[in-house]
Amino acid sequence: MATHNFMPTLSLRITNRFSLVFLVVALLFFSCKKGTGLIGIGTNSDGFSGQVIDTFTVNTYTVPDDTLRTGGWPAHPIGHLNDPLFGTTDAGMCFRLLLPKENLTFPSHVKIDSVRLSMCYATGTKLYGDTAMPQTLMVSEISDQLYTDTAYLSTQKLNKISKIGSWTGLHNIHDVSYFSIKGTTYVNLPQVRFNIDSNFARKIINGGNNLATSADFANLVKGLYIEVDPNNPGNVISFLTSYYQYSNLTIFYNDSEYVNFPLTIDGNNPGLHFSTFSHNYGSSSAYKARSAPAQIMPQSFIQSTAGNKMRVEIPYLSNFMEMAKNKGLSIQKAEILIEGDVTNTYNGLYPLPSQVLLFHHDSALKEEAILDRYDKYFYTSSNQGYPLSLPSAYFGGKQYDGNKYSLPFTRHLQNALNNYLSTGTNNIHGFYVTIPTAIPVGSARLIVPQGNVKLKITYSPAP
């Protein structure tokens, strides 16, 4: 009997081209007995009854991730990381203030008591990096006009007029606080409160006609930018959001008066806010992997905040499809299995991400969503959309057992197989694995050692 091989040695190659290697597989494959156990009939751990292959060659590549459109996110990261394996990452937030009401006016004589910018931590946020090290965040006014119809990218450059406020301390993402105004007690969710220069408040109070509408106000105060002070950077990514009740600029004046300038108003006016990211990989391991893609590397490096993604290639997948000629196959489950490295988290400073995402790429390496994310039932019943609202059972990515991830693409593979039987063309060119930046907002990273990526397919002959 002929033996059949789907390259049982799992290899990991860092290169920038597809591996053009072909393996001849006999069409009598289905007549083989179970043999070594690499392929067999039975019920697998998922409860499916069918044949299982998990011995494909899988090649991975570390490549720069795409620039992100960051405008309108519900939360934005702010901070600085100095990672021995990834170099430095800086994240900042830019936003435009809104008027609380049209035709805002102040008394003719105003005594400014204090000015505060409050930024509430995002729901579900986690501190990332050295949480025991204090850091200084600073607020600057910018001179750039911001527009609501512009798509702001993570690489956006900004011109700062001057620093108008700062905060130094350790982030406390759990404790609420209380304060009283005019005898009424209010609650503050966990947040950072910046002390702002009173001269900035005076500029607003003397705004005149610029206080008529938020659009007019944008001519007076174009925007603010929060970033880490380079002289006291700390090593923490701080997560902040624009809840209109808690994230705002407050001017306290005349002993008992105050006015809030929110970043957003009740969801009906989302305001304008976006993130900026910058990475300096230096001579780090991540830099070596992404700058020498033709060499076999011991690890792949994945990072959110428009950092790195991992390209996954399966060079012998067409041989599997070739078996289905004149037979057809029913794909019961197809999944990419990833096991992350837990030895380089530096005692938990850089924990593994809670989720990773799988994308398909076309022949031009353009990133596209896999078909499993468009499952009709879950797409419509959730009343939400691509890419993160569908149940993880359909497109996977949730961390389990501390460092493992399963990324199913069952529907995508079945569609590709049907296309192959019709046209003879394999339209699966490869995949990307990324870390989502926005849910929760952060700068997580994942290192995948050589040999820790597998493809597993459970299938049966088509009825």
> Do residues 357 and 406 share a domain?
yes
> Do residues 96 and 162 share a domain?
yes
β-strand pairing of 445-449 with 367-369: unpaired
Identify whether 201 is part of a domain.
Answer: yes
Backbone φ, ψ for residue 306 (5° rounding): 55, 40
Q: Which residues of the chain have pLDDT under 50?
A: 1-43, 376-392
CB 356 within 8 A of CB 405: yes
> Do residues 305 and 381 share a domain?
yes
For the record, the structure tokens of 380 come out as 């419509």
> Do residues 288 and 271 share a domain?
no
For residue 113, what are the domain limits?
A: 75-280
> Do residues 100 and 183 share a domain?
yes
Task: Look at residue 1 in the predicted model and tell me its pLDDT.
Answer: 37
Question: Torsion angle, CA of 27/28/30/33, rounded to 10 degrees?
Answer: -150
Task: Look at residue 185 in the predicted model and tell me its pLDDT.
Answer: 79
For the record, the structure tokens of 200 come out as 């900035």
Task: Look at residue 302 in the predicted model and tell me its pLDDT.
Answer: 96
Task: Look at residue 247 in the predicted model and tell me its pLDDT.
Answer: 87
> Do residues 224 and 326 share a domain?
no
Domain boundary among 229, 252, 280: 280
The candidate with the shortest Cα–Cα distance to 226, out of 96, 117, 138, 127, is 138
Cα(215)–Cα(148) distance, rounded to whole angstroms?
10
The contacts of residue 171 (CB under 8 Å, 6+ apart) are: 121, 127, 131, 135, 192, 236, 238
Identify whether 2 is part of a domain.
Answer: no
For the record, the structure tokens of 63 come out as 């490549």
What is the CB-side half-sphere exposure of residue 375 using CA atoms within 13 A?
18
> Do residues 208 and 326 share a domain?
no
Domain boundary among 220, 251, 280: 280
Task: Look at residue 443 in the predicted model and tell me its pLDDT.
Answer: 82
The candidate with the shortest Cα–Cα distance to 258, out of 406, 151, 107, 405, is 107
What CA–CA distances, in Å, run from 275 to 86, 94, 123, 348?
20, 6, 17, 25
Identify whether 200 is part of a domain.
Answer: yes
Q: Looking at this protein, which amino acid is placed at residue 325? A: K
Identify whether 8 is part of a domain.
Answer: no
Task: Look at residue 72 in the predicted model and tell me its pLDDT.
Answer: 80
Task: Look at residue 381 in the predicted model and tell me its pLDDT.
Answer: 42
> Do residues 84 and 49 share a domain?
no
Domain boundary among 222, 250, 280: 280
- Determine the 3-state secondary structure of 373 from DSSP: helix
The contacts of residue 381 (CB under 8 Å, 6+ apart) are: none
Identify whether 5 is part of a domain.
Answer: no
Cα(88)–Cα(98) distance, rounded to whole angstroms?
33
How many separate domains does the chain show? 2
Task: Look at residue 439 in the predicted model and tell me its pLDDT.
Answer: 54
Identify whether 15 is part of a domain.
Answer: no
DSSP conformational letter for 210: G
CB 247 within 8 A of CB 118: yes
* pTM beyond 0.85: no
Cα(406)–Cα(420) distance, rounded to whole angstroms?
25
Task: Look at residue 48 in the predicted model and tell me its pLDDT.
Answer: 55
Q: What share of the chain is helix, strand, coil (3-state, %, to 5)?
A: 15, 35, 50
> Do residues 256 and 291 share a domain?
no
For the record, the structure tokens of 148 come out as 């609501």
Cα(359)–Cα(431) distance, rounded to whole angstroms?
5
> Do residues 174 and 127 share a domain?
yes
Strands (E), 155-306: 160-169, 177-181, 184-188, 191-196, 224-228, 236-241, 248-253, 257-262, 272-280, 299-303
Cα(155)–Cα(278) distance, rounded to whole angstroms?
7
> Do residues 199 and 82 share a domain?
yes
Q: What DSSP string describes 285-328?
A: HHHHHHH-TTS--SEEEEETTT-EEEEEE-TTHHHHHHTTTTT-
Identify whether 268 is part of a domain.
Answer: yes
Identify whether 37 is part of a domain.
Answer: yes
For the record, the structure tokens of 463 come out as 């009825």
Task: Look at residue 125 in the predicted model and tell me its pLDDT.
Answer: 77
> Do residues 112 and 160 share a domain?
yes
